[in-house]
Amino acid sequence: MDEQTIPKLLKASAEKYGKRVALREKDLGIWQNITWEQYYQKTKYFGLGLLSMGLKPEDKVSILSENNPEWLYADLGSQSIRGVVVGIYPTNVATQVEYILDHSQSRFVVVGDQEQADKVLEVKDRLSNLQKIIVIDMKGLRRYRNPLIMSFEEALALGEEMDREDPKRFDSLVEQTDPEDTALMVYTSGTTGKPKGAMISHRNAIASARNFLSCTPLRVDDVIVSYLPLCHIAERSFSVLYPLMTGGITVNFAESLNTVQDNIREIAPTVFFAVPRIWEKMHSGHVMRMRDATRLKRWIDGWCGKKEKEIYDMECRGKASGLHTKALRTLTSVLHGYPLKKHFGLNRLRYVYTGGAPTPPETVIFFHSIGIKIRNLYGSTECTGICSVHQGDDIRVGTVGPLSPGVELRIGEDGELLFKTDGVFKGYYRNPEATAEAVVDGWYLSGDVGSLTEDGHLVITDRKKDIIITSGGKNISPQEIENEFKASPYIKDAVVIGDNRKYLTALILIEYDNVGKWAEDQRIAYTTFKDLSQKPEVHELVSKITEEVNRKFARVETIKRFTVLDKELDQDDDELTATQKVRRSIIERKYADVIQKMYKAG
Amino acid sequence: MQTSSTTKGESVGSPERAAAGPQLTVERLSLSFGGIRALQGVDFEVFPGEIFSIIGPNGAGKTSIFNCISRLYTPQEGRILFEGTDLLSLPPHRIVSLGIARTFQNIELFRNMTVLDNILLGRHLFLKSGVFSAGVFLGKAQNEEISNRLKAEDIIDFLEIEASRKKVVGELPYGLQKRVELGRALAMEPRLLLLDEPTAGMNLEETEDIVRFVLDVNEEFGTTIVLIEHDLRVIMDISRKIICIDFGAKIADGTPKEIQTHPKVIEAYLGEEFQGKESDRGAE
């Protein structure tokens, strides 16, 4: 479609697809359909509701909720009357919520439920701009007598009334939206410092979506499940932008956070995007389940897994022809590949993506060999998503694919990647200094170091500031080493340390569930995470994994010592970003004495 | 996943409702098993929409009161009135249809049935169609099945147990089983809910969760709640009124504040440590 703003796209889609299903939500145990008409109507009512409460162009509306259709109504409704939408991670704690509401000067905040409402109420006295808290699920809140609180239905009712008085009003407002308007602001989680609000215009959003879609022909009958945080640009693109641009992809919302995996199985999406953590979990879940399986199943899994990998290797070298190979491929897929795909709910997939952080190669190879061709997607909020992606059948492990159409690349002297596209954002809200550092002459400085292969695939080495230079002067990418650790089902996270030091060390965080299970099998009694993580046997286990990892690297890149952390890393303690990335600097500061010990002689 | 702590005061039964006169009246309740006198002339009144708690040391007779109300035991003396009806004149199965539901100290669910089936069982009293029409699943029986399933799904949604809907109860963690038991009680659409130690054996997070649900039930449906509980912090936080039982007799009643400072309570139950302080989960 050629419309130039997001609300115009919605209007056009509603006119074109009317009674077709746009969204689906599982409620009270049943999948409920929402048509494009209804989608548009609810959006209209919400937008007008805000208007009747005095929202003006460029005013900010924050959304703090799990994914649900109301999220989209609030998002598009606000944009339709030229408001700016700020998504906040539902996992953020009250102080982080306060920072974003305050910095963005939000006048309205849409919250999912009581838990989220309580966070805002806790800090409301310090938010002078805040006018209303609009609650989607009022359970437990009906007797809060706070004038700030109103229900989502009340807001819709206000809008409905306005619409009855003046039925043309909304359509003309949608016409007034301008491609250069800021449509949304995404607060980047930032592994350093306070979050920054990246302003993204309609033009940015649509250009980026167009780039992606031109190399990924999504179809009207495609189905996706919306389950990652919508405030992140990737999920926003898959759940809002791409369906609007292609008109007709059905977006499904899980019943609750705990049922996502079941719901994915029920829906069997055809387009799927997941972050590495989810792939790792699926993979290690499979590995752990096989340990409890019967001997026959274990044998089948082992044998098929091995054969599938061999065939995959041959495919990569272009030698997977011949009758024997084909027969073998059919056999393993009947016995192993297909049942597994079905189990994950990924048996109907057409396009499947990973992104947000590097995925451990071992995990990617596992999925590739059972026939789930995970494509790498690389991008950033500041480019409104995608910069490069695996296109067509050219899917390779270890690269993030060729540049997306409409994206230009320059590699700086220090190896830093610079991008130029129509998706490059308008700047950080109320932070011109940071904007000036991030965008120079229209080029976005990504902060990532990487290179291009001879045939045009992009390879990312690491974050520029994370590169370790040992006191011996050797440049090392910690990410590569950490990823090898994370491929083990027993390890959740690893932080490699060694900048300006003689050798490398690592802080290791164990995967509680899996190590717990392992301990039970070994008849090791334990009580809590702290207790388990400090068992000598667990130390021994990690030490074996470390040896295996070390074998894959040159001598200077090996881990000489490690410490198993006795506590889970937590977003609440600022150790992780909202996207569950490790905040290296905070961890290095927090565990300074532990690190110091690893560098003491003896 | 609710982790926020309970909001004090805001959710406690409101005084204007209390003006309507008691919903449950217990008068001179006495119960003995042979030579053991389990209850000796216990009196109390519960008003509509309030959260009312019964505390007391182990074996003081708290659960016996519940068992008298739900007619598992028949007291030798005394009267129990629920909205004007004398419960003691009724057989046990009629109690539920009056609008009284309860949960048990030790979970009493069907362990080999699913969560959904257990909750649907709570709808039993609303099933009116006969064996024949239910057997062939025609008209009325079908509608009934649908409306009851809808109610059960409402409760599943309310208690946030969607993920375990189809799971067998015996496989679930303890805290979740307690929630399912609460769900089954709610399926009866009670106006009075008797909860026997809902947080026993739970960790802090599970306790906060269940307390949040108890408050939600009270707020959302206006259900009167009578609570037996050992976790004093919970009791003091959410109850409007408390009575304390020792050796089968009522030794004190009043607001949480009055109970905390009542000399007899301190002596009989709380011990000297508790005075004025916020307690941990002592007393067990």
Domain A6-177 in CATH: superfamily?
A: ANL, N-terminal domain (3.40.50.12780)
Query: What rounded mean pLDDT belongs to chain A?
Result: 92
**Taking CB atoms and an 8 Å limit, are A139 and B11 in contact across chains?**
no
CA pair distance B41, A466, nearest whole angstrom: 74
Are B144 and B230 members of one domain?
no
Tokens for A576? 């992780």
Phi/psi for A401 (5° steps) reads 85, 170
**Residue found under tokens 């999406």:** A269
The confidence score (pLDDT) of residue B7 equals 40
Strands A60-64 and A149-151: unpaired
The whole-angstrom separation of Cα A597 and Cα A560 is 13
Which pair of tokens denotes residue A307? 């054969």
- Chain A residues whose CB is inside 8 A of the B162 CB are 29, 255-256, 258-259
Question: Do B243 and B283 have their domain in common?
Answer: yes
B19 touches chain A (CB under 8 A): no
Among A290-304, A566-580, B58-72, B244-258, where is mean pLDDT lowest? A566-580
Cβ-defined contact of B162 to A139 (cutoff 8 Å): no
> Cα Rg for chain A, rounded, in angstroms?
25
Percent above pLDDT 90 for chain A: 76
The partner residue sitting opposite B4, judged by closest CB among A118, A256, A262, is A118
Residue B118: enclosing H or E segment and its boundaries?
A: helix B115-121
**Cα–Cα distance, B188 to B125 (Å, whole number):** 8
What local confidence, expressed as pLDDT, does residue B143 receive? 85
Collapse the DSSP code of A148 into the 3-class scheme (helix H, G, I; strand E, B; otherwise coil) and give the result.
Answer: coil
CB pairs under 8 A between A and B: 43
pLDDT of residue A192: 63
* DSSP classification of residue B6: P
Quick one: pLDDT band at residue B278, thresholds 50, 70, 90?
Answer: very low
Q: In chain B, what residues touch A258 (CB-CB under 8 Å)?
A: 162-163
Check CB contact of B86 with chain A, cutoff 8 Å: no
Q: Is A28 within 8 Å of B216 when comparing Cβ atoms? A: no
Kindly give, in sequence order, each residue whose CB lies less than 8 Å from that of residue A124, ignoring residues fewer than 6 positions away.
A130, A133, A148
Rounded Cα distance between B179 and B197, Å, is 12
Neighbours of A344 (CB within 10 A): 20
Q: Which of B10, B158, B162 sits opposite A139 (nearest CB)?
A: B158
Distance from CA of A403 to the nearest CA of B (A): 40
B205 at A interface, C-beta within 8 A? no
Contacts of A502 (CB under 8 A, 6+ apart): A470, A471, A472, A599
Residue A28 φ then ψ, to 5°: 50, 40
pLDDT of residue A206: 96
CA pair distance A507, A597, nearest whole angstrom: 12
The answer on pLDDT for B282 being more than 50 is no
- pLDDT value at position A601? 67
Q: Return the amino acid letter for A257.
A: L
CA dist., res. A142 & res. A334, Å (int):
54
Alpha-carbon distances of A152 from A91, A110, A407, A570, rounded to whole Å: 21, 8, 40, 31
| Residues of chain B with C-beta less than 8 angstroms from the C-beta of A142 | 219-220
Kind plus residue range of the DSSP H or E element containing A367: helix A361-369
Is the CB of A28 less than 8 angstroms away from the CB of B163? no
Is residue B235 situated within a structural domain? Answer: yes
How far, rounded to the nearest angstrom, does the alpha carbon of residue B72 sit from its chain's CA centroid? 15
Say whether B3 and A258 touch across the interface (CB within 8 A): no
Is the pLDDT score of B54 beyond 60? yes
Task: Read off the pLDDT of residues A34-83 as tens digits, 9 standing for 90 and up.
Answer: 999 999 999 999 999 999 999 999 999 999 999 999 999 999 999 999 99
What's the confidence (pLDDT) of residue A248?
A: 75
- Whether residue B165 lies within 8 A of chain A, CB to CB, comes out as yes
Cβ atoms of B280 and B91 closer than 8 Å = no
Taking an 8 Å cut-off on Cβ atoms, the answer to whether A29 and B158 are in contact is: no
- B273 shares a domain with B248: yes
Token readout for A360 is 């451990």
Q: Taking CB atoms and an 8 Å limit, are A143 and B10 in contact across chains?
A: yes
Q: Is residue B104 part of a domain?
A: no
* B282 and B180 co-located in one domain: no
* Residue B80 within any structural domain of the chain: yes
Taking the C-alpha atoms of residue A370 and residue A329, their distance in angstroms, rounded to an integer, is 10
CB-based contact A189:A195 (threshold 8 Å): yes
Stated length of chain A: 602
CB atoms within 10 A of CB A279: 20
Angle in degrees, CA B154, B160, B162, rounded to 5: 80
pLDDT in tens, A89-103: 999 999 999 999 999
> Parallel, antiparallel, or unpaired for β B24-33 and A559-564?
unpaired
Residue that is written with structure tokens 């009246």 in the block: B25
Give the C-alpha separation, A200 to A428, whole Å: 9
Chain A closest-CA separation from residue B126 CA (Å)? 20
Do the Cβ atoms of A140 and B157 come within 8 Å? no
How far is A29 from chain B, CA to nearest CA, in Å? 7
Smallest Cα distance from B217 to chain A, Å: 8
Instruction: Tell me: pLDDT of A403 over 50.
Output: yes
Q: Taking CB atoms and an 8 Å limit, are A142 and B162 in contact across chains?
A: no
Q: In this predicted structure, what is the pLDDT of residue A61?
A: 98
B153 and B275 in a single domain? The answer is: no
pLDDT for the residue numbered A258:
84
Q: Is the pLDDT of residue B1 over 60?
A: no
Residues of B in contact with A28 (CB under 8 A): 150, 153-154, 156-157
Instruction: Give the residue from A237, A460, A251 showing the smallest Cα distance to A357.
Output: A460
- The reply to whether A467-598 shares the fold of A276-347+349-464 is no
- Residue A259 near residue A337 (C-beta atoms within 8 A): no
Q: Of B187, B217, B248, which residue is a domain's last?
A: B187
Q: Which of A30, A115, A139 sits opposite B4 (nearest CB)?
A: A115
Q: Is B109 inside any structural domain?
A: no
Q: Which residues of A touch B216 (CB under 8 A)?
A: 139-140
Domain that holds residue B152: 115-187
Residues in chain A with CB shorter than 8 Å from the CB of B158 are: 139
Residue of B162, B172, B203, B218 for testing the chain A interface, max A β-carbons within 10 Å: B162
Does the structure show a pLDDT above 60 at A429?
Answer: yes
In this prediction, residues A127-151 reach a mean pLDDT of 91
Instruction: Please give the pLDDT value at position B200.
Output: 85
pLDDT at B17: 44
Measured in angstroms, the CA of B157 and the nearest CA of chain A are apart by 6
State the nearest Cα–Cα gap between A258 and chain B, in angstroms. Answer: 6
A8 in Cβ contact with A174 (< 8 Å): yes
Q: What is A467-598's CATH superfamily?
A: ANL, C-terminal domain (3.30.300.30)
With a threshold of 0.90, tell me whether the complex ipTM lies above it: no
Judged by CB atoms closer than 8 Å, whether chains meet at B157 and A28 is answered as yes
Domain ranges of chain A: 6-177, 276-347+349-464, 467-598
The answer to whether the Cβ–Cβ distance between B163 and A258 falls below 8 Å is yes
Cβ-based neighbour number of residue A423 at 10 Å? 31
Write out the two tokens for A394. Answer: 């050219």
Residue A586, classified by CB atoms within 10 Å of its CB into exposed (0-12), middle (13-18) or buried (19+), is: middle
Residue A140's SS3 state is: coil
Cβ atoms within 10 Å of B136's Cβ, excluding its own: 10
User: Does B3 lie at the interface with A, CB-CB under 8 angstroms?
Assistant: yes
Q: Which residue of A has its CA nearest to B153?
A: A28
Contact yes or no for A259 and B163 at CB 8 A: yes
Contact of A137 with A112, CB cutoff 8 Å: yes
pLDDT band at residue B269 using 50, 70 and 90 as cut-offs:
low
User: Does residue B202 share a domain with residue B85?
Assistant: yes
- Contact yes or no for A256 and B2 at CB 8 A: no
**Statement to judge: residues B92 and B197 lie in one domain:** yes
If you write DSSP's letter for every residue of A172-220 in order, what string do you get? HHHHH--TTSEEEEEEE--SSSS-EEEEEEHHHHHHHHHHHHHHS---T
Q: What residue of A is the nearest CA neighbor of B13?
A: A143
Q: Note whether B165 contacts A29, CB cutoff 8 Å.
A: yes
Chain-chain contact of B162 with A118 (C-beta, under 8 angstroms) = no
Q: What is the pLDDT of residues B156-172, one digit of tens each?
A: 999 999 999 999 999 99
> What is the predicted pLDDT for the residue at A327?
92
The pLDDT of residue B12 is: 41
Co-location of B160 and B251 in the same domain? no
pTM for the model stands at 0.86
| A-chain residues near B147 (CB < 8 A) | none
Q: Which of A30, A114, A256 sits opposite B163 (nearest CB)?
A: A256
Q: Does residue B205 lie within any of the structural domains?
A: yes
CA gap A352, A568 in Å, rounded: 30
SS3 A593: helix
Number of domains in chain B: 2
Burial class (CB in 10 A: 0-12, 13-18, 19+), A372: buried
Q: Do the Cβ atoms of B183 and B157 come closer than 8 Å?
A: no
Least confident of A208-212, B17-21, B37-41, B67-71: B17-21
Q: Looking at the domain assignment, is residue B77 inside a domain? A: yes
Average pLDDT in the A168-178 region? 96
Residues B59 and B200 in one domain: yes
pLDDT higher than 60, residue B4: no
Flag whether B107 is in a domain: no
Confidence of residue B272 (pLDDT cuts 50, 70, 90): low
Compute how many other C-beta atoms are within 10 angstroms of the C-beta atom of residue B41. 14
Q: For A258, name the nearest residue in chain B, comparing CA atoms only.
A: B163
From B187, B210, B235, the end of a domain falls on B187
Q: For residue B39, what are the contacts with CB-CB under 8 A and spacing of at least 6?
A: B29, B30, B31, B32, B61, B64, B65, B68, B75, B248, B249
- Contact at CB, A29 and B156, closer than 8 angstroms: yes
Q: Which of A139, A255, A259 sits opposite B220 (nearest CB)?
A: A139
Pick the residue from chain B with its C-alpha nearest to A257: B163
Q: For residue B271, is it within any domain?
A: yes
The pLDDT, as a whole number, for residue A42 is 97
Structure tokens at B13: 């039964």
* Token reading at A3: 């419309």
Q: What is the pLDDT of residue B277?
A: 46
| pLDDT for residue A193 is more than 90 | no
**pLDDT category of residue A571 using cuts at 50, 70 and 90:** confident
Mean pLDDT of B148-160: 93
Residue type, A107: R
Nearest chain A residue to B163 by CA: give it: A259
Interface of B with A in 89-108 (CB under 8 A): none
Phi, psi of B88 (to 5 degrees): -70, -15
Any idea which of A12-26, A567-581, B15-29, B109-123 has the lowest mean pLDDT? B15-29
> Both B36 and B66 in a single domain?
yes
B207 and B177 in one domain?
Answer: no
CATH of A276-347+349-464 among 3.50.50.60, 3.30.1490.190, 3.40.50.12780, 3.40.50.740: 3.40.50.12780
Q: How far apart are CA B135 and CA B145, in angstroms?
A: 12
pLDDT at A190: 63
Read off the tokens for A334. 């009947």
Q: Are B166 and B66 within one domain?
A: no
Exposure of B229 in the CB half-sphere (CA atoms within 13 A): 28
Mutate one of B1, B2, B4 to test the A interface: name it (highest A CB count within 10 A): B4
Measured in angstroms, the CA of A259 and the nearest CA of chain B are apart by 5
Q: Chain A: which residues have CB within 8 Å of chain B?
A: 27-30, 114-115, 118, 139-140, 142-144, 255-259, 262
Q: By 3-state DSSP, what share of chain B in percent is helix, strand and coil, each rounded to 5? A: 40, 20, 35
Structure confidence by residue, pLDDT tens digits, B211-261 = 999 999 998 899 999 999 888 888 888 999 999 998 899 999 999 999 888
Digit-coded pLDDT (tens) for A523-568: 999 988 999 999 999 999 999 999 999 998 988 899 999 999 999 9
